[in-house]
Amino acid sequence: MELKIPYNKIRMNIEIPDENFQGVLESDPAGCRMEGTEQEIVERALDNPIGSQSLEELVKGKKSMVIISSDHTRPVPSHVTMPILLRRIREANPEIDITILIATGFHRATTHEELVQKYGEKIVAEEKIIVHDSRDDAGMADLGTLPSGGALKLNRIAIDTDLLIAEGFIESHFFAGFSGGRKSILPGIASATTVMANHCSEFIASPYARTGILKNNPIHRDMLYAAQQAKLAFILNVVIDAEKKVIGAFAGDSEQAHVTGCEFVLKMAEVKANPSDIVVTTNGGYPLDQNIYQSVKGMTAAEANCKEGGVIIMVSACNDGHGGQSFYENLRDAASPRALLERIAKVPRNETIPDQWEMQILARILDKFTVIMVTDMCSPEMIKEMHMEHAATFQEALQRAFEIKGNNASVTVIPDGVSVIVRTA
């Protein structure tokens, strides 16, 4: 069996013996695509809001509003969505004062160049754009306590406006269930303290904090509450394909429109588990396979399909290295993945450290499976320090996997681990 899978900016050719090959798990965006151009799909969603008045009705009589917009780490096609939002808002209320608030969450600040790349020069030059800083305590409004017990502190700009809306995109998420909707608020415009409490070890360990799961997900529950307290009145969320083109759009009530969008993604991305001894996966190539930190997302798809004690072959360039100093050091310094898991489990909710959630999920995977990282762009020593094996080529990795699981081992391929939701039942 010959296949092509994404690696950095190319597609890698791989071969698997027919007698071992058990199948491919991949999403079906073509079968779910809405009719029309990207702009037509977005306009139609705004024309037919879900569970809400129209955007035009909401802005009438308002003096100010904030549009929360995703940051540079999310491939939201804001060059398509933002001009449409701004035009429709100003047609309904020409005098309204609009602020675009960049939802960086716990990430670094978005640069001017990244803003231009995201929105185009005209919007960056003409609109009021503010980049959220999760560490700026003076800029936060205290809204009490999350259901989990953590402090709820959100950007004051969003709280002090007459109308709060958000644009974003929906994809499966490896512990929040899905991105989009309420995530514009938490972690989007939340304080670092609030993000840490929400990403605590207890919640990450929950069997409901998994890809494609909202029901009983404690992380999602906190996020929903934060969005309600912030009075997030309206969302425009899109779904995109591998080329980052809009194939679906959902607008309206921040919870109802989001749930409808999640159902669309589930239909597109859900695949039935095909438990195998060896699972090959990727992070969808560039830009998501630039470091080990991000690559954990693709590994979780393989985790859901791999027999316990099996081997995960993770094809990911990781040309930027580990992706998080705390993430790297904690794994490197741990005696074993199990030891790290046991230590993290004892960390109180309000004492969560940066990157703890990522190291916890990787340690969870490494505790049950052997992970072989396939890359010729990253330090083999660093990979080994983080309790994984390294292979410079796919063939080398497959040979090593057969050594571990035997020559009769079954092999499943997940060409893009970030784009699928593997269901075990």
Distances (CA, A) of 294 to 126, 132, 190, 210, 282: 34, 22, 21, 16, 11
Q: Which listed residue (72, 79, 132, 173) is catalytic?
A: 173
Q: Look up 390 and say whether it is catalytic.
A: no
**DSSP SS3 for 154:** strand
Helices (H), 139-289: 156-159, 192-198, 201-204, 218-230, 256-269
**DSSP SS3 for 166:** strand
Angle 356-368/337-345 helices, nearest 10 degrees? 140
Enclosing H/E stretch for 217 = none
Question: Biggest alpha carbon distance in the chain?
Answer: 70
Enclosing H/E stretch for 247 = strand 246-252
CB of 224 within 8 A of CB of 255?
A: yes
Q: Look up 387 and say whether it is catalytic.
A: no
DSSP letters spanning 172-205:
EETTTEE-SGGGGTTTTTB-HHHHHHHT-HHHHT
Residue that is written with structure tokens 């580990």 in the block: 322
Q: Which residues are catalytic?
A: 107, 173
